[in-house]
Structure 1
Amino acid sequence: LKEIVTQGKLVSDEIIIDLLSKRLEAGEAKGESGFILDGFPRTVRQAEILEGVTDIDLVINLKLREEALLAKCLGRRICSECGGNYNVACIDIKAENGRPGMYMAPLPPPPQCASKLITRPDDTEEVVKQRLRIYQAMTRPVEDFYRSRGKLLEFDLPGGIPESWPKLLCALNLEDREDKQSAAA
Structure 2
Amino acid sequence: MYFTALLARTEDGWEASDTELDDVETLSDLADLAREASPDEDTVLVLIEQEDAWFGVVRVDGEEDPRVFVSNASVAARSSYGELLLTDELLGREPGEDDTDLDALDLDGTEDGDPEDAAGDEDGGTAEAVPNGPVGDSALLDDLGVSAKELLALEGDALSEIADALGASEILEAVR
Higher relative CO (Cα under 8 Å, sequence separation at least 6) belongs to 1
User: Counting helix residues as a fraction of each chain, which structure ranks higher?
Assistant: 1
Larger Rg: 1 or 2? Answer: 1
Q: Could you tell me the TM-score, scaled by structure 2's length? A: 0.29
